[in-house]
Amino acid sequence: MPVTAVVGGHWGDEGKGKVVDALAARADLVIRYNGGNNAGHTIVGERGTLRLHQVPSGICHADVECIVGPGVVVNPAALFDELEMLEAAGISSARLRISDRAHLVFPFHVEVDETVEVARGPKAHGTTRRGIWPVYAEKAARTGIRAGDLLEPAFLQERLGEVSRRATALLGRTVTAGELWYLCEEWSDRLLPHIADTHPLVQAALRRDDAILLEGQLGVMRDLDWGAYPYVTSSTCLAGGACAGAGIPPQRISRVMGVVKAYTTAVGAGPMPTELVDGLGARLRELGQEYGASTGRPRRCGWFDGVAARFAAEVSGFTDLAVMKLDVLDGFDTVKICVAYRDGPRVLTSVPHTAAMMRVEPVYEDLPGWRETSDARTVDELPDAARAFLERIEQVAGVPVSMVGVGQEREALIEIRDPGPGTGDRQTGRAHPINGALVPRPGSRSQ
């Protein structure tokens, strides 16, 4: 797998952390390429349950180097809490490097986020109020502070004057350069050992043909450009974002693994066509323990959205798909897959503009349910109906399923195939181990 990007195929919280944790066992380097501490990856292993928000999931493997890339915004105070959690679990953070180009989250960013979200009232976007968008806004306005600035005190002092004036204007109260300087001094002692120019490290890994994993946050439906705007995050969630956010040339990415659940979840406001607002949605939430790793907020739950999954596969170039939490659907008499949206007289097979997406109705296909998958460790041990469900996901999404999650434990992960570099699945389709049928390439339409 020289370079593999792991990308969320829905609204986030798909199980990317578990997938990265599994793939990291064969990796040399894991790079986190977008977002901040506004989302979390949960890993269940021999050291217990670990919830990571900024540190790459590869940190749980002793021989894996980890980089927080320039596309990430780093909250130092929250990062220190995370590092202490890892140290308490016996995991060293010495292998962690933070790009000197990564921007820093200050307390006033969190305050701005909170103030604006409250002011939106009933039209609130459902942000995590972690200060993420204000930092990305400052990045675009060229007024942000980067991790590398902590290494250059004179340069930092000059920059903080402009930052303090902007913060004062945004909040309507005085934010002094002195208080920002004091924060930076506090952070420096603990951050400096981790801050590095990560470009030479990444280039050296590429020259050695090391196995590199690119770990994304959230999912395509929260992407700033391709998601359901304005109910989106402030960074790029696509595989293309991994190139800029990690410093990897596009042609070096040989595998783009999309990650979805066997059903659909979302946190926060915005359209979610398959959302179940009845007891069935509550049942999925409790069975899947669908509560945000960062905020603890209950997730909205619904049937598998094949339209969104295919859309994500097309704009992000998925080579294969990991379907997580299949076991949550155990015991349902019938399971459903959304294969289209209905907007009045129109039937849509792609994700439309947000206004249309707010009013569409899902078009479902019903499939027979199954009893038990949690004990399965090979695809042959899955019930026939569960395999049929996975086959239909492949057809609707246009991407072969290579991995299936059937429980929280590390070993509850079925690897059906490892396409590896240069796989032909994207171009021609081929027989594969779920049932031997030909998987259509992403450009073809399944009805």
**260-428 classified as CATH 3.90.170.10:** yes
* DSSP structural state of residue 298: B
pLDDT given for residue 42 in this prediction = 77
Name the segment(s) of the chain with CATH classification 3.90.170.10: 260-428
CB burial of 110-121 (b: ≥16 within 10 Å; e: otherwise) equals bbbbeebbeeee
The values of phi and psi at residue 32, to 5°, are -85, 130
Give the sign of the dihedral formed by CA 387, CA 391, CA 397, CA 401: positive
DSSP letter for each residue of 366-400: EEE--S--TT--SGGGS-HHHHHHHHHHHHHHTS-
Q: 157, exposed or middle or buried, with CB in 10 Å at 0-12, 13-18, 19+?
A: middle
Q: What is the pTM of this model?
A: 0.89
Half-sphere exposure of 209 (CA within 13 A, CB side): 2
Per CATH, domain 3-102+193-252 is 3.40.440.10: yes
* Residue intervals in the chain for CATH 1.10.300.10: 103-191
DSSP states along 35-67: B-TTS-EEEEETTEEEEESSS-GGGGSTT-EEE
CATH of domain 103-191: 1.10.300.10
Q: SS3 helix, strand, coil % of the chain, rounded to 5?
A: 35, 20, 40
Q: Is 41 a catalytic residue?
A: yes
Amino acid 434: pLDDT? 62
- Give the pLDDT of residue 93: 93
Please state, in angstroms and rounded to a whole number, the distance separating the CA atoms of residues 209 and 252: 10
pLDDT at 131: 82
DSSP state of 12: S
Q: Which helix (H) or strand (E) holds 356?
A: helix 354-357
* pLDDT reported for residue 128: 76
Q: How far apart are CA 56 and CA 65, in angstroms?
A: 9
For this structure, is 13 an active site residue? Answer: yes
CA dist 118 → 85, 114, 242, 257, 300 (Å): 31, 6, 32, 37, 21
Could you state, in chain order, the average pLDDT of each consecutive group of 10 residues for the chain (447 residues)? Answer: 92 92 93 88 76 90 95 96 93 96 96 83 74 92 95 95 92 93 94 97 97 95 96 94 95 97 94 96 95 81 98 97 98 98 97 97 98 95 97 97 94 78 36 45 35
Q: DSSP string spanning 134-183?
A: HHHHHHHHT---BGGGGG-HHHHHHHHHHHHHHHHHHHTS---HHHHHHH
- Strand intervals (E) in 2-122: 3-8, 29-32, 41-45, 48-52, 65-68, 73-74, 96-99, 103-104
How far, in Å, CA of 178 to CA of 317, rounded? 47
The gap from C-alpha 57 to its chain's centroid, in whole angstroms, comes to: 12
pLDDT confidence of residue 433: 55
Catalytic position from the list 10, 41, 103, 432: 41
Residue ranges, CATH 3.40.440.10, the chain: 3-102+193-252
Question: In the prediction, which pLDDT does 71 show?
Answer: 96
Q: What is the pLDDT of residue 83?
A: 95
Instruction: Out of 10, 13, 113, 194, pick the active-site residue.
Output: 13
* pLDDT value, residue 130: 82
What the block records as the tokens of 83 is 């590092």
